Structure 1
Amino acid sequence: MAETGRLVGPVEVVGTGLVGTSVALACRRAGLEVLLSDRSDEHVRTASGLGAGRARRPDDRPQLVVVAVPPDALGPVITAALAASDAVVTDVGSIKARPLAHVLEDPAAARHASRYVGSHPMAGSEHSGPLAATETLFEGRPWAITPHPGADVGAVELVEDLVRVVGAVVAWLTPEEHDRAVARISHVPHLVSSLVAARLAGAPDNHLSLSGQGVRDVTRVAAGDPRLYGQIVAGNAAAVGELLVELRGDLDAMIAAIGADERGDLEQLLEVGVAGTRAIPGKHGAPATATVSVFVTVPDHPGELARLLADAVASEVNVEDIRIDHDTSRPTGLVELVVDERSGERLLVSLESRGWVTHR
């Protein structure tokens, strides 16, 4: 078996899309040798041209193989990687129980299952392909490691080392718990976003002209590849289906409350939603803190956004988040600066003193 417990390379990345190429770039930044393989030679050439590594040769012996392929291909590619060398194998797929079952149900692969440790970085984009990759994609982001009971301790340590090398934060879950968690915080939100976005398809232009940042926030993830998300949801059908049934119950209750003009029932449902937003961890995993938004009108001219951010820095207020809503009818944009609620008034006064038009 290959050396484990300390990642020295080479690292082979199988699948040079957004996530795979980002893993490769982060490993290269750390000085590790990276080997690239993909069904698409063009993707390998592109990733290599970006500095993510080189194409794998038959005589290469990777220490760690990172499988970064679509969900439907995870099981077969993982078993092939276990058979091809004595390397530790992990994957970065968004479902964990089904690939593990595929390994354990294959007699040849099951003999090497101790070298397989599933994992999943909670980072990505609605964009895809190697050109969308970045070496900083995982910095500060949770990365789940989901070892099964038969996993070798050294193999688990090697995957943990990979997570730290790319700058992510380790989260430990079982494969089954991981799948329930991502159904709740990723898969079902994506499906709901898609349903909301579908209400916009074919909508009259005079309706769409009223669009603001709110609808963009809700529908952003709906722009993801339908084929990929179809595979993801199918691979996690039980957990996703259970949550959708719960959601359907709440939706029925909301429709009934609206139809009967039961304001109290409706407000109670909305209050639970508010509680849910507060449950989302804040920066660095700390409890979320109360924030306020300061809105600033910014002329659509070169350098204006940079000037606003410089003035925000000069006010000595930490900006927690920033959003931009473009005004389609005027040559301006509306920038939302999200700050701790104790700093809102200070930022407002500071920016107004520098000539900015602001409001809450």
Structure 2
Amino acid sequence: MQGSAATSDEVILERIGSAAVIRLNRPKALNSLNLAMVRTMCAALEAFADDADVSVVVLTGEGERGLCAGGDIRVLYEMGRAGDAETTRFWREEFPLNYLIAHYPKPYIALMDGITMGGGVGLSSHGRHRVVTERTRLAMPETGIGYFPDVGTSWLLPKAPGETGTWMGLTGLEVSPSDAIFAGLADDFVPAEQLSELVKALSGLAPEADDEAVEAVLSWFATAPGESELQKHRTLIDRCFGHDSVEQIISDLEGEDGDFARRSREAILKRSPTSLKLTLRLLRDGRNSSGLVECLEREFGAGTEILCHHDFYEGVRAAIIDKDRNPKWSPPTLSEVTPDDIAPYVEGRHGTLFPEHRL
């Protein structure tokens, strides 16, 4: 493909015809986001929005393993342990980037090829055109590291059919490309080998091309994604995950037959009890929220509060630092996590990201 590129160490900005392509370029780290990458993306999107020669913006990841595995949690861990006052700077700039993507004035196409988790979901699922492939592995696995699904997913997940989003948020388990489409986090399935041709076709659109023109191109390449396991188990999910109590959800799963219920229950039982109760609270609050900004504000406050407690550091230690996969949560059981324990996470006492409260 013909084009021009401006290359940095971690983000490649490329022009191919009328398409502006953003390539996340940390393949050895599964394109995990850091603050410099967030800043580069934000500046690029603002510039492309004002460029009359740009018809569409395409987000992709270098390497074949994934679009983006999330934020660089190790950096947050190290800064938080050191008491660095700038620890929350990443979220202060990442969350407004998620908002920018959700309200981007030009067609924004995310190629969710391979691992797309955490912050990678924030970069893609807020966009208007989300493409998955047979290699897509999507998840919000944060309860497994003593955190919670953020980047505005407390706005997105409650919009999934029934309690599908609750299942995703609590279990943290990976879902298939067909599941991602069913849950409303993706739109089209395109075989990975066709992605370069898809970008080429998008690059040939007129500068004034709109979303309808993009959808016409996507429909040419899109194929059937196959059966969704979440759709198959929708009745069970709705029956078990409709409660406002994690304990009741686990109890109901225990009474169900089959491998799906067993895997779901076993996954939840490995997660941080505090994270589970906080996640369920955020998802329920998200369902009744006025918009994405309200959810991002609430998530920012919860994330800032989490830095003051044990489980995040213990979860990252077990998963990333020591890699023993054996976190010791505190409190260790759900029964020991009270509503009063969760209250500080959602009281909004850590400032605001959107002083004008854009909706």
- Fold-level match, TM-score > 0.5? no
**As a proportion of its length, which structure holds more strand?**
1
TM bucket normalised to smaller:
under 0.3
Query: Larger Rg: 1 or 2?
Result: 1
Structure scoring higher RCO (CA < 8 A, sep ≥ 6) equals 2
